[in-house]
Chain A
């Protein structure tokens, strides 16, 4: 248990009274430095909630979230976000429509009081493969893939060590998805980043991650290595069914699906 991220007995409750939901139940996992960890599951399984609890977007959690050896409480300082950044699913919703790329990228620099703004923005744009002529464009002047590159540049500009990726390519076409996944792989190697990748797409997670946790109804059902997925070597029925369903349509298999 000496990972850069250690999660121990995490529980998240959302909502109040009658509407209360126990969204994450007793989740524990550990991610080593430089590793890419995947969380897969169907909608409502709690995978994004885990990510949001780690990033501090949800404050009502119990259990231990340990990042870089430090126990995280509900309140997080600026230093925390210097080290850990997040990329969201929908690049159409996560960029401010009336901020230029330049404004979007300089905001984190102002918050963290960093110098050399000019140089940092230039490098950030270059390393996500956008030219400098994108710098003064608005989001509506960019394609979906270009927007997601801006979102990645915004996260990377603080030179964090951990990136939390919440369905980073779900809104993109497959050809654009390939470009963004390649970019994420290059960045990870170049800067020795640690990733937690959340996706409903098993193929994406299996491609990107060494360790994969399968979630259902707020719990981790099974932990798998890349090797186990390659050999379809899952022990839990739920995981087996998920693996089979991801392979495409099969009338016989569809008739035998179980409810979990």
Chain B
């Protein structure tokens, strides 16, 4: 292997998305261009995608896993994970990647977990799908991972059904399930939006530690600007399907795009309570 090849390999990003476009068709047959020319790459870092509802941020996350309806059209130059173009894989090959190499934490554990299956069996299933391992060993593995996500009584939670868990516990269980196959890339779609602020802090600390210890890449999708600024390394701001701005999380307050500035300005705080809140004037030019 030549030196140049070696160097390129070293600098191949974990994930490389080039010119992603997603089009949905609604029931009237009208096509909706949900994601437009989105390109970004990701190393072992915490990347935030922020935007309002309908901005296409979740669709970007789901497209990476090809978890969107078959009626939708995905077009991209490439979506490459460790150099492998995911768009060229067959559905069967994709299943080797989904869960195993890339996994996704959804917003609401109440909807994402199977309500009629014990929590422990669900987590074990996620592991056994990708690894040949006996039942007893799998159980031990599940108890370990439940311990990692700071569940105090893993044996009890192992036997519990999802409805017997609180929101925060349910979210820990989902994180455990997503982490047990040892993915390289974790996509978290509003993982803490349904939780109280203190529980949110604990869950983020768990994700933070695990991503750091295991050297994973993280895509964190959220509408919460303050949270993004304090949690991520880098942030992409999406508006109407496009990335309008990219910045370091610590520099979000000095953002340049009028949309980002507008979003930041309309947040209520105790300090600005004597003033009217600034509202967003959407400029048609942002769509260009």
Which A positions have Cβ atoms within 8 angstroms of B?
42-43, 144, 173-175, 177-179, 181-182, 185, 200, 202-204, 206-208, 226, 229-230, 241-242, 245-251, 253-255, 257
Asked whether, in the complex, the Cβ of B266 is within 8 Å of the Cβ of A242, the reply is: no
Asked whether, in the complex, the Cβ of A248 is within 8 Å of the Cβ of B229, the reply is: yes
Our pick among B52, B230, B267, B269 for the contact of A249 (Cβ within 8 Å) is B230
Interface residues of B in 170-208 (CB under 8 A from A): 196-202, 204-205, 208
Asked whether, in the complex, the Cβ of B278 is within 8 Å of the Cβ of A178, the reply is: yes
Asked whether, in the complex, the Cβ of A230 is within 8 Å of the Cβ of B270, the reply is: yes
Asked whether, in the complex, the Cβ of A203 is within 8 Å of the Cβ of B263, the reply is: no
Asked whether, in the complex, the Cβ of B167 is within 8 Å of the Cβ of A43, the reply is: yes
Asked whether, in the complex, the Cβ of A257 is within 8 Å of the Cβ of B202, the reply is: yes
Our pick among A177, A203, A248, A253 for the contact of B270 (Cβ within 8 Å) is A203
CA–CA, A230 and B271, complex, Å: 7
Residues of A contacting B52 with CB < 8 Å?
173-175
Our pick among B53, B226, B279 for the contact of A248 (Cβ within 8 Å) is B226
Asked whether, in the complex, the Cβ of A249 is within 8 Å of the Cβ of B204, the reply is: yes
CA–CA, A229 and B278, complex, Å: 22
CA–CA, A140 and B199, complex, Å: 34
Interface assignment of B277: CB less than 8 Å from any CB of chain A: yes
Interface assignment of B75: CB less than 8 Å from any CB of chain A: no
Asked whether, in the complex, the Cβ of A245 is within 8 Å of the Cβ of B198, the reply is: yes
- Of B227, B266, B272, B280, most A-chain CB atoms within 10 Å: B266
Asked whether, in the complex, the Cβ of B276 is within 8 Å of the Cβ of A182, the reply is: yes
Residues of B contacting A204 with CB < 8 Å?
268
CA–CA, A174 and B226, complex, Å: 12
Our pick among B197, B208, B262, B272 for the contact of A200 (Cβ within 8 Å) is B197
Asked whether, in the complex, the Cβ of B263 is within 8 Å of the Cβ of A175, the reply is: yes
Asked whether, in the complex, the Cβ of B200 is within 8 Å of the Cβ of A245, the reply is: yes
Residues of A contacting B223 with CB < 8 Å?
173-174
Instruction: Select from chain B the residue with minimum beta-carbon distance to A245.
Output: B197
Asked whether, in the complex, the Cβ of A42 is within 8 Å of the Cβ of B270, the reply is: no
CA–CA, A175 and B208, complex, Å: 29
Our pick among B208, B262, B266, B270 for the contact of A229 (Cβ within 8 Å) is B270
CA–CA, A226 and B271, complex, Å: 9
In the assembled complex, how far is the CB of residue A106 from the closest CB belonging to chain B, in whole angstroms?
30
- Of A179, A200, A241, A254, most B-chain CB atoms within 10 Å: A254
Residues of A contacting B204 with CB < 8 Å?
249, 254
Interface assignment of B273: CB less than 8 Å from any CB of chain A: yes
- Of A242, A247, A248, A251, most B-chain CB atoms within 10 Å: A248
Interface assignment of B231: CB less than 8 Å from any CB of chain A: yes
Residues of A contacting B205 with CB < 8 Å?
251, 254-255
- Interface contacts beyond A174-B52, A175-B52, A226-B270: sample of 20 additional A-B pairs, CB < 8 Å, sorted by A: A42-B199, A144-B53, A174-B267, A178-B267, A178-B279, A182-B279, A200-B196, A203-B268, A207-B273, A207-B277, A229-B270, A245-B200, A246-B197, A248-B226, A248-B230, A248-B231, A249-B201, A250-B201, A251-B208, A257-B201
Interface size class of B (residues with CB under 8 A): 35 or more
A sample of 9 inter-chain contacts (CB < 8 A) reads A42-B198, A174-B267, A178-B280, A181-B268, A203-B269, A206-B269, A207-B277, A251-B205, A254-B204
Residues of A contacting B230 with CB < 8 Å?
247-250
In the assembled complex, how far is the CB of residue A184 from the closest CB belonging to chain B, in whole angstroms?
11
Asked whether, in the complex, the Cβ of B269 is within 8 Å of the Cβ of A179, the reply is: no
Residues of A contacting B276 with CB < 8 Å?
182, 185
Residues of B contacting A182 with CB < 8 Å?
276-277, 279
CA–CA, A43 and B194, complex, Å: 10
Interface string of B52-86 (1 = CB under 8 A from A): 11000000000000000000000000000000000
Interface residues of B in 255-285 (CB under 8 A from A): 262-263, 266-273, 276-280
Interface assignment of B102: CB less than 8 Å from any CB of chain A: no
Interface assignment of B225: CB less than 8 Å from any CB of chain A: yes
Asked whether, in the complex, the Cβ of A257 is within 8 Å of the Cβ of B198, the reply is: yes
Given contacts A242-B197, A246-B197, A248-B230, is CB(A177)–CB(B273) below 8 Å? no
Residues of B contacting A185 with CB < 8 Å?
276
Our pick among B167, B199, B225, B270 for the contact of A207 (Cβ within 8 Å) is B270
Asked whether, in the complex, the Cβ of A207 is within 8 Å of the Cβ of B201, the reply is: no
- 9 pairs of A and B residues whose beta carbons are closest in the complex: A248-B230, A207-B268, A178-B266, A206-B270, A254-B205, A42-B196, A175-B280, A178-B277, A249-B230
Asked whether, in the complex, the Cβ of B268 is within 8 Å of the Cβ of A178, the reply is: yes
Asked whether, in the complex, the Cβ of B268 is within 8 Å of the Cβ of A208, the reply is: yes
Residues of B contacting A251 with CB < 8 Å?
205, 208
Instruction: Select from chain A the residue with minimum beta-carbon distance to B167.
Output: A43
CA–CA, A203 and B202, complex, Å: 20
Residues of B contacting A206 with CB < 8 Å?
268-270, 273
In the assembled complex, how far is the CB of residue A231 from the closest CB belonging to chain B, in whole angstroms?
9
CA–CA, A173 and B280, complex, Å: 11
